[in-house]
Structure 1
Amino acid sequence: MKRSLLVPMIVILAVFFKAQAAPLWPWQNASMGEGAPAWATTDIAAGQIWYVDINAPKSAETGSHDQPFHRIAAALKVARPGDEIWLEPGVYHEQVRIRKPNITLRSSVLHQAKIEVPFNEKKIQQAIRIDFTAKGTRVIGLDISGGYYYAVSLHTKWKGGPHSGVSQVLLSQNLLHGSGRDLLKINPYVWQVLIERNQFYRSGQRDNSNAEAIDAVNASELWIQDNLIKGIATSGIYVKGGSHEVLIQRNLIRNVGLAGILAGFDTSPQFFNMTDNPNMYEARRVRIINNIVDGSQGAGIGAYSAEQVVVAHNTVLNSAIRYHAPIYFGLSFQDRELDAKRPPSKDISVYNNIFSSLRRDGTVLEVRYLEDDTLGGLSSLQGWPKANNNRYFSAFGPASFTDMRPHAKQRSSSLSEWMKWCACEADTQLIEVDLSYPNYMPQGADFQFTSKAESLAVDFYQNKRVSTTYVGAVIPN
């Protein structure tokens, strides 16, 4: 399909959507979604409830409902494992550090308890810090802002024996925003974390060069689902440094400065677990399913030195505005250390997705390759992706599939050439993107297919898919 490069952007965007309206994010008033781990619940714990109210009259502070504490730190000091701390509506200008296990920090009224710290005071590195000793921490329904580096950070024991990170952490229904850099930092060796029904926005208030919504390094058993991520300085979600056993599903990601979702990226070698991951893959065994990415300056979804990644039933719109591609295979340099591995991605499955590109040269898929003076030839992909039944759209001219590797017969190819070379994409089509905004529902026969070997059981809204179903994250009502 050919389009003039002079077509105004407003006309091109009209191809994507039938109306201008705010997108529907259905999870704010919903219960915990399908796929959450068995250990996670938002139910009230069986222990004691301690009350904190910054606006209560000054009195004896016992932590009872009638005589609440005025500071969160006072409640944390007396709370025991299994207790809950309820924050009444108000603004709490204090840094919170959770050291004890099985403590729940909960807003008594959703989002009305606000933990607010500066983003430009270096001594206040995060608004909430969850120490490695705080297994079973739950943070529910808060408004959390600020932090020189992070709004929330999950920590690891680095000294005195094997590294061990905090585990079984639940972050549910929170607002995270206005941090100096990333909004949520998950440090190496942290494991079993559920991040669900949160809203992330306005990262990078102090430094917007490296400011993700969710940044996980060498973490494992992560569930990132049903979140709204918008207005992020760099990437929405990336899991890197050897992160593994990760499920990223049903997230709505809008308007990010780099990429929507990345399996892998670029990590310093000291953060890898060389015993478990000797080849230094940045991400392993990651499932990216039923997500919507709408508006990314770079990749919609990407893989960097990743192994065993499934990218299925995602809807990627308005992506690659400045560089990369809607589906992108990138290079990891790992500090250019000579003993780093920098492996190409391998065993990547890409099926039943919608990928639409705003890149000016029409690129919808890109495989990078680089000849480096020091490191030699660096390839982003080993072999070919296991790809099929995707739908590609380019707003600027014919869709182009770019493979920079030396064995590629030519750098950019048409879909038919790409299908021939990769022996994949047999049921893939080029289409005109026509989704019923704001629900991102595909319209028309081009989006339908008869389910064969692989199709997810439910869609973005957790509606059941049937034998004749649709590509992308959403099926029509």
Structure 2
Amino acid sequence: MTKHHLVYLACTAALVGSALGATPSSSVPTVHVVNPGESIQAAVDAAKPGDTVLLTPGIYRESVRVTTSGLTLRGVGRSTVLKPATTSAAATTAPSGETRAARRAADSCARAGNGICVEGADGSPVEGTTVASLTLSGFAKNGLWATGTDRLTVRKVTAEKNGQWGIAQERSTRGVFAQNTARDNGDAGLFLGNSVTSEGGATDTRGAVIERNRLEGNRTGVTVRRLRNLTVARNDITENCAAVFIVGDETPPRAGALTVRENRVVGNNKYCAKTARLPFLQGSGIVLTGAEDTLVTGNLITDNAGTSPLSGGVVLFKSLVGATNERNRISDNTLERNAPADLVNTETDAADNAFQDNVCVSSTPAGLC
């Protein structure tokens, strides 16, 4: 047993081996323990599918690129913190145990401005990998960036004060994002999209889940862009400029077949200046733009107030390219003290959007409550 490779389940393996034949040592999962000052990337590169890379408490100044399926990268809670490498540290000696290949992998993630990168490819995804129980703070772009993954789990990660997104994923399926905290990030706390580099129709996530996260102080709490078959549930979303954005456009297949349910959406009244793509934001609860067949139900939506074109409790708004929302159902939500109204439908000519059984006081146009 060494400091870097702690083999567990040895007793279990021995018992199974005595009854069924010896288990090859290569099949026994290994825990690679990393301490502050040592290289996370070197441990990740040495790990095999099924292994765990365990980060002890402390501050690690590096970026990490993960391309191994079935790997678990985890800390021991918020006291395990990844921050960007300092210029002087990056130019001098590499962390203990790091090879040139490991440094190149980490550098590609760091050059992009990200903390952790989980990267597969179309047709060859990283499958069943987990990132858990650590903090990602102060990266120029994203705390965690994932592309080309299947069944990625991100759990109990704190992503704070990153330049763009706290936790973000594209070109991926069946992801689970649960019990994370994303706060004070430059754009979305949690972002899931089809692709950030090309236009195109919505992709099917095959059941991705965003649940039980705390999202506060971001530009938007959750952004779901051009996706289908996804659930946003039981999140606590407060003090952002906007809580939830469901974004689509006219390109088929349309964004939609989504569920937004049982979220607490309270006081998202931070002010964010306009951009080239959006007006200024303030006081937006749940916003649908260019979406279809989406269910918004069972949410508590209160005290979201502003004068932006996108302000209000639940807002239906044409997409930037003029695509309308169609066949969405807004039902069984509790809405109070949202302004300009609890329910806002700017698309009175759109097809078959239904507002049913909501507890609310005000709507634009009148009569939706």
Pick the aligned partner of 1:117 from 60, 81, 84. Answer: 84
Taking the aligned partners of 1:104 and 1:142, their CA distance within structure 2 comes to: 12
Does residue 170 of the first structure (1) align with residue 153 of the second (2)?
yes
- CA-to-partner distance for each residue in 1:54-107, whole Å, 9 max, x for gaps? 16xxxxxxxxxxxxxx11011012101110000001100000100111110011
Partners of 1:119 and 1:178 within 8 A in 2: no
What residue in structure 2 maps to residue 240 of structure 1?
A: 225
Partners of 1:124 and 1:239 in 2: CA distance? 22
Q: Do the aligned partners of 2:62 and 2:85 also contact (CA within 8 Å) in 1?
A: no
1:332 partner amino acid: S
Q: For each residue in 1:252-273, what CA deviation from the matched residue of structure 2 results, as whole angstroms up to 9, or x when unmatched? A: 001111x21122256xx9xxxx
Residue 343 of structure 1, CA deviation: 3.0
Task: Identify unmatched segments of 5+ residues in structure 2.
Answer: 1-26, 88-108, 195-202, 269-281
> 2-side partners of 1:354 and 1:346: how far apart?
22
Q: How many residue pairs are counted as aligned between the two chains?
A: 293
Of 223-232 and 128-137, the range deviating more from structure 2: 128-137
CA deviations 1:210-236 (Å, max 9, x no partner) are x1111211251320001111111x111
5 Å-filtered alignment, 1:370-389, equals 382-389=350-357
1:278-293 correspondence to structure 2 within 5 Å: 279-281=252-254, 283-293=255-265
TM-score normalised by the chain length of structure 2: 0.74
Match of 1:183 in 2: 166
2:122 counterpart of 1:130: no
Query: 1:105 and 1:214 mapped to 2: Cα distance?
Result: 19
* Distance 1:365-1:118 versus aligned 2 partners, 3 A rule: farther
Instruction: Determine the C-alpha separation between the residues in 1 that align with 2:314 and 2:112.
Output: 38
Distance 2:327 2:352 in 1: 8
* 1:386 Cα offset (Å): 2.3
Distance 1:401 1:245 in 2: 29
SS of equivalent residue, structure 1 residue 77: helix
Aligned to 2:210: 224
1:33-432 alignment to 2 at 5 Å? Answer: 47-54=29-36, 70-107=38-75, 109-117=76-84, 123-132=111-120, 133-155=125-147, 165-187=148-170, 189-204=171-186, 211-218=187-194, 220=205, 221-232=207-218, 234-241=219-226, 243-257=227-241, 259-264=242-247, 279-281=252-254, 283-296=255-268, 297-323=282-308, 324-334=311-321, 342-359=322-339, 362-368=340-346, 382-393=350-361, 399-402=362-365, 413=366, 415=367, 418=368, 428=369
Q: SS of 2:41's equivalent?
A: helix
Letter paired with 1:148: A
Query: What amino acid maps onto 1:198 in structure 2?
Result: N
Mapped contact 2:128–2:152 kept (Cα < 8 A): yes
Runs (4 or more) in structure 1 with deviation over 6 Å come to: 118-122
State the distance in 2 between where 1:145 and 1:293 align.
24
The one-letter code sitting in structure 2 at the alignment partner of 1:153 is W
**Counterparts of 1:244 and 1:358, CA distance in 2:** 28
Cα deviation 1:162-187 (Å, max 9, x = unaligned)? xxx21110001111111011112212
The one-letter code matched in structure 2 to 1:225 is E
Structure 1, unaligned runs of 5 or more:
1-44, 56-69, 156-164, 205-210, 270-277, 335-341, 370-378, 394-398, 403-412, 419-427, 429-477
CA RMSD of aligned residues (A): 2.4
How far is the alpha carbon of 1:368 from its aligned partner? 2.3
1:75 counterpart SS class? helix
- Contact kept, 8 Å, 1:146 with 1:178, in 2: the verdict is yes
CA displacement at 1:306 relative to structure 2: 0.7
CA distance in 2, matches of 1:126, 1:149: 5
- Cα separation, partners in 2 of 1:183 and 1:46, compared to 1, 3 Å: farther
What secondary structure is seen at the aligned counterpart in 2 of 1:141? strand
Shift of 1:118: 6.7
Q: Name the CA distance, whole Å, in 2 between partners of 1:291 and 1:215.
A: 17
Whole-angstrom CA distance in 1 between matches of 2:28 and 2:325: 46
Report how far residue 358 of structure 1 moved.
Answer: 4.1
- Measured after TM superposition, the shift of residue 46 of structure 1 is 6.0
2:84–2:110: 8 Å Cα contact kept in structure 1? no
Structure 2 match to 1:66: none
**Aligned letter for 2:344?**
E
Q: TM-score, normalised by structure 1?
A: 0.58
Given the superposition, is the C-alpha separation of residues 73 and 224 from structure 1 closer, same or farther in structure 2, using an over 3 Å criterion? Answer: same
Question: What is the one-letter code of the residue matched to 2:252?
Answer: N
Q: Structure 1 residues 119 and 222 mapped into 2: Cα distance closer, same or farther (>3 Å)?
A: farther
Compare relative contact order (CA 8 Å, sep 6+) and give the higher one, 1 or 2: 1
**Once the two structures are aligned, what percentage of the paired residues are identical?**
20
Contact 2:63 2:85 in 1 (8 A): no
Q: Which amino acid aligns with 2:288?
A: A
